Amino acid sequence: MPSSTFPTLTTPAGPTLPEAPAWNRQRRSAMPAHRYRDAHSRVDIPLTDREWPSRRLLQAPLWVPVDLRDGNQALAEPMDPARKRRFFELMVAMGYKEIEVGYPSASRTDYDFVRLIAESDIAPDDVTLVVFTPARRDLIERTVESIRGIRNDVVIHMYTATAPIWRDVVLGQDRAGLRQLILSGGRDVLQLAGDLPRVRFEFSPEVFTLTEPDYALEVCNAMTELWEASPDRPVILNLPATVEIATPNVYADQIEYMHRHLDRRDSVILSVHPHNDRGTGIACAELAVLAGAQRVEGCLFGNGERTGNVDLATLALNLHAQGVDPMIDFSDIDEIRRTVEHCNRIEIHPRHPYVGDLVHTAFSGTHQDAIKKGFAEHRRRAAAERRPEREIEWRVPYLPIDPADVGRSYDEVIRVNSQSGKGGIAYVLETEFGIELPRRLQIDFARRVQQHTDASGSEVAGDQLWGLFREAYLAPATESPVELVDCSTSGRSTSVTLRAGGVERTTSRDDAGTVEALTAALAEAGHPVEVLSLHQTSMSAGSTGDALTLIEYRRGRTTGWAAGLDRSVHSATLHAVMRASADA
């Protein structure tokens, strides 16, 4: 199509996208788009010779998870101390070397968690801890109190919003007044913590993306001068996309402008903190690193205010998929997901990059055929080169990475669809019996159905499918070594009586739920079982009307599924746990 078909529209800000051609004359929407301003009219970035488009990502930046602070404050039900500790220990085990652990002046829970770290050994010596505070003296004092005695390196992270609308509407300050407010907070930090060993400083001009570039540069240079940034004690300047307001290239331009014009650049660690309001947080972070950022703050799987913080898992595994070591261990991504879901009380979407239950599953026949051929070619190349398959370059259609890299099996990739299509497994159970199976249980059950159909060579009707399900997950074990005699709750205490070898034993747990009390009693009886997930549904559509509890369990290195069926949800859950203990 000749270029004359696309006349270019110009504005004082420069060239824009071409006008839509005749074949793309879509109707106007009913939404009032005229009420909004584009980012270029609000932030004019004096950068014309940008270098970031020609660069490549060749190494991982410093990752800083902020789940315990930014992610936690976005939860409807913030983490309790046990969940905070479990999340922290997960991040340490994964290899994070700098972790934001809380906002000590915001709540007693956050303050106490920082004190727990100070008074225990849960933080390895090589992990740097970050604490967050506004630029207000009383809150800075509380923050400094929380870190006293910590043996690790500590970063005190001070922030203040700097964008015009925040200055006008929230803070009531002009540029000069806000600069003095920020410097006052910086002086308080220096006075209260400047002489503490192993303490460094971080400053965030909140809403950096909507702040005038010259003002952001002025304030950041003032802070590095005040804090005497030096190569052996660098200051972190964190430039957050607190609210994502433009295409990712605009953020990259903003970061490159700061990277090239900051004073004391060799004494600054340039950090970014992208949010995901436009759904492009990942791209913003990646382009920001190309533009000069050395450090990225975000959350595992992208939890955070509104649409979330940038997803550190996706960023890291994007590097992995390009042959760059992300420096973080995601080799058991399902365990990571379970921990994050437990701590956040938020389930991860089945289509979430890399971690979702469906991301390695092909439902299309053409996709599945290509994947099978890719696996066959991968095995052929490994045999020809006489090398293990795990050492051969990964080139399988539709699979950006080898599922085994993140601890996934190949069964869910090449078998689930063929079986769910063949017998309509999940669909039949839901429509005929009202049972909604979790995706991982669908995968497990599909393997069993295939064994049956391979032996019989026939399709499976609804009643047969339900019979196979009962046999696999509900039928009592032939010889159960332990029997549940009673489980009851009185006040805050739950009592469990088990019979093993003809001997009954009763144990009690305070402030424990039914499942927690029962699994603890089983462990004491020598039959430990860990419940990984619990799902409750009900039978309907002409069946029994009973409650059905489905649990995913682990014992040692073995995982499996068990179910319990009863009129009572409570009893169904107990039956499921006991079946799991017998299976394990």
Q: Taking the mean position of all CA atoms in its chain, how far away is CA 162?
A: 28
How would you classify residue 449: left for phi > 0, otherwise alpha for psi between -120 and 50, otherwise beta?
Answer: alpha
Question: In terms of Cα–Cα distance, which of 470, 465, 463, 472 is closest to 542?
Answer: 463
- The one-letter amino acid at 396: V
Give the CA distances from residue 34 to residues 21, 163, 250, in Å, rounded to whole numbers and listed in that order.
Answer: 22, 22, 21
DSSP 299: B
Tell me the two tokens of residue 1.
């199509």
- Residues 498, 502: Cα–Cα separation, whole Å: 10
Tell me the two tokens of residue 96.
């994070």
pLDDT for 5 equals 41
pLDDT for 34 equals 81
pLDDT for 411 equals 58
- Residues 476, 482: Cα–Cα separation, whole Å: 12
Tell me the two tokens of residue 562.
């068990």
Task: Please tell me whether 273 is known to bind a ligand.
Answer: yes
498 neighbors 505 (Cβ within 8 angstroms): yes
- Sketch out the chain's domains with CATH numbers: 54-344 (3.20.20.70), 360-414 (1.10.287.1400), 483-583 (3.30.160.270)
Tokens 């601890």 locate to 407
Task: Please tell me whether 275 is known to bind a ligand.
Answer: yes
- Residues 270, 253: Cα–Cα separation, whole Å: 14
pLDDT for 413 equals 62
Task: Please tell me whether 277 is known to bind a ligand.
Answer: no
**Long-range contacts, 92-97 (Cβ 8 Å, 24+):** 92/122, 92/123, 92/124, 92/127, 93/329, 94/328, 94/329, 94/330, 94/336, 95/327, 95/328, 95/329, 96/63, 96/64, 96/65, 96/127, 96/328, 97/62, 97/126, 97/127, 97/128
Strand partners, 63: 296
Give the CA distances from residue 333 to residues 215, 330, 362, in Å, rounded to whole numbers and listed in that order.
Answer: 42, 5, 19
- Residues 343, 85: Cα–Cα separation, whole Å: 9
Q: Spell out, as residue ranges, where the chain has pLDDT lower than 70.
A: 1-18, 363-365, 368, 411-424, 426-428, 431, 457-460, 477-479, 540-544, 583-584
Task: Please tell me whether 24 is known to bind a ligand.
Answer: no
**Residue 52 DSSP SS3:** helix
Question: In terms of Cα–Cα distance, which of 80, 88, 83, 79 is closest to 123?
Answer: 88
Question: In terms of Cα–Cα distance, which of 426, 435, 412, 436 is closest to 460?
Answer: 426
pLDDT for 402 equals 94
Segments of 135-228 assigned E as strands: 154-161, 199-206
pLDDT for 459 equals 61
371 neighbors 379 (Cβ within 8 angstroms): no
Q: Taking the mean position of all CA atoms in its chain, how far away is CA 334?
A: 11
- Residues 102, 69: Cα–Cα separation, whole Å: 5
- Residues 150, 118: Cα–Cα separation, whole Å: 4
Segments of 359-492 assigned E as strands: 483-490
Helix (H) or strand (E) holding 537: strand 530-538
**Residue 280 DSSP SS3:** coil
Give the CA distances from residue 371 to residues 362, 407, 583, in Å, rounded to whole numbers and listed in that order.
Answer: 8, 18, 34
**pTM for this one?**
0.78
Strand partners, 183: none
pLDDT for 421 equals 42
Please, what's the b/e burial string for 402-437 (b: 16 or more CB within 10 A of its CB; e: otherwise)? bbebbebeeebbbbbbbbbeebbbbebbbebbbbbb
Q: Are strands 98-102 and 530-538 parallel, antiparallel or unpaired?
A: unpaired
- Residues 231, 229: Cα–Cα separation, whole Å: 7
- Residues 311, 282: Cα–Cα separation, whole Å: 7
85 neighbors 314 (Cβ within 8 angstroms): no
107 neighbors 115 (Cβ within 8 angstroms): no
